[in-house]
Amino acid sequence: MKNMLRKTIIMVLIVTILGGITACGGDSGNSTTGDDKAKSGDKGEETTISVYWGSLEDDMQQVWFDHFFEPFMEEHPGVNIDFQCLPDVQETLRVQLAAGGGPDIFMLDCFDIPDYVEAGTLLDLSNYENQYKWEDLIYDWGLDAATVEGKLYGVPHSSEATSMYCNLDLLKELGCDVPKTRAEFEDVCEKAATQGYIPIEYGYSGANEFQQWIYDHYLGNYAGRDNIKKLFTGELKFTDNEIKGAFELLKKDWDAGWINQGQSGAITNDEARTFFQNEQAVFCTEGTWLTLETISPGSLKFDWECTVWPSMKDGIPASGSAGIGAVMSVNANTKQADLCAELINYLYEDEQRLADAIAAGYPTLCRDVDENLYPADMADDIRKTLDSLGDILGQDTVGYAPWSSYPSDTNIYMMNNLDKVYYGDYTVEQFCEEAQKVLDKELAEGFVFVG
């Protein structure tokens, strides 16, 4: 009996210990190091920089490696880059950074930067800004978006613009031109709806963040950039007509069935996009990323144009909004701060390398690139969209993309509650009153509008 008991205890202990050893986790996302032979951090003298990014398709990850990471590793023997693309990168980051760990370089949204700065998790990059003269290289509005209390906490990774894609063939069939005013826009929508087309494709089911596109179009082209700045600096309120009118117009167009026939809540963005691709919709609400990154060149088999959303009010010019797709920040606890800054600079410094990467589908960074550097065989769609992007960002009246400039809680409130207006659960007045309450709280907590 004694032996039996002893054997039992030993067996249980062995099983528990083995279970504990084998329970150590592996990768939680796609992890590529460019070369299977290069393992991260497990060869004594090698240095590994870990980079966490959002979800990217395999071919896009390969573009990162081919154009940036592999050349960087070749120029820095002994340095490995562990690039992980995670579907829920923000949740993962928060947990790891709060625990004092986390990757060396990671992707952040602009509106999250203040929270991370307050928690002391981001490295101040101001010295590197001076060292690499980023202020001469990178758009100042891009650097401003990652600046908190005068210090730089990230480098903008991609620049993009909100826009309107138009099917020119359908517009010709309807006897219309690309609308620039509200009246022209209404004319197109009415004719399109009568002919059985979807005037504006738009779907957000399961992804409320896409609501930002639609309210950016209406707010930006009804209120205008100056009034948006006044709103987020406290000089105007959501309930003022200059702002509220935008949402009233949006509701009016929704009720008229112009916005995907009132079915946007029932369909995903992917499904809505197919209506534009299949020539069932006249306008597409997506921004310049559609033809630069999202769909393959040549996918749109009709004559199209990427332009600004039309003016929604007399006196307010037609314009798009400039946005930062993501920011590259450095972990305050990183042990290779210099190397991280060097890698970030490497992405920006060589104009030719960047031009080649963009031609392959890499996002446009926040810097100018001489169009003569793009390869001659670059896809026409990409070239055309780059021209449009340049035009939109070059406007004097370019607005502020919500995900880059709006206060975080207010933006989240709008994303998650705008459909209550669509479906009649909130009046526009109620929506604006609640949004103002959230904004008032953020302004009281010290939100500073960077615009």
Partner 1 sequence: MKQFDRRKLKGMVFVLPAFLIHVGIVLIPAVGMVWYSFTNWNGLKAPKFIGLQNYVTMLSDTSFFHALKNNLIWMAMFLVIPLAIGLILAVILSNISRGQMLLRTIYFLPYVVGAAIAGKIFATFYSPYSGIASVFKALGIESLSNFAPLGNGKLALYAVAFVDNWHWWGFVLVLMFSALHQVDRSLLEAATMEGAGPLRKFFSVTVPQIKPTIISYFTFILIASFTTFDYVWIMTQGGPSNATELVSTWIYRKSFISYEVGYGSALCTTVCGGCLAIYLLFTLVQKLRRRGEV
Contacting residues toward partner 1, per CB under 8 A:
1, 5, 8-9, 12, 15-16, 19, 91, 94-95, 97-98, 115-116, 118-121, 204-208, 261-268, 271, 275, 409, 412, 416, 419-420, 422-423, 425
Tokens of 377: 């065989």
Q: Are strands 327-330 and 155-156 parallel, antiparallel or unpaired?
A: antiparallel
Q: Which is nearer to partner 1, 321 or 408 (CB)?
A: 408
CB of residue 420 vs partner 1: minimum separation in angstroms? Answer: 5
Task: Beginning with the edge strand found earlier in the chain, give each strand of the sheet holding 399-400 in spatial order.
Answer: 159-161, 321-324, 399-400
Q: Which is nearer to partner 1, 19 or 26 (CB)?
A: 19
Q: Which is nearer to partner 1, 388 or 411 (CB)?
A: 411
Task: Beginning with the edge strand found earlier in the chain, give each strand of the sheet holding 30-32 in spatial order.
Answer: 30-32, 79-85, 47-53, 105-108, 327-330, 155-156
CB of residue 277 vs partner 1: minimum separation in angstroms? Answer: 13
Q: Which is nearer to partner 1, 69 or 197 (CB)?
A: 197
CB of residue 128 vs partner 1: minimum separation in angstroms? Answer: 23
User: 246, 219 in Cβ contact below 8 A?
Assistant: yes
Q: Give the whole-angstrom CA distance, residue 261 versus residue 253.
A: 10
**What is the chain's alpha carbon radius of gyration, rounded to the nearest angstrom?**
25
AA identity, residue 346: Y
CB of residue 235 vs partner 1: minimum separation in angstroms? Answer: 26
- Tokens 């980079």 locate to 51
CB of residue 423 vs partner 1: minimum separation in angstroms? Answer: 4
AA identity, residue 223: A
Q: Rounded to whole angstroms, what are the CA distances from 85 to 35, 58, 218?
A: 16, 10, 33
- Tokens 């947990």 locate to 95
CB of residue 276 vs partner 1: minimum separation in angstroms? Answer: 13
Q: Which is nearer to partner 1, 120 or 175 (CB)?
A: 120
Q: Which is nearer to partner 1, 119 or 448 (CB)?
A: 119
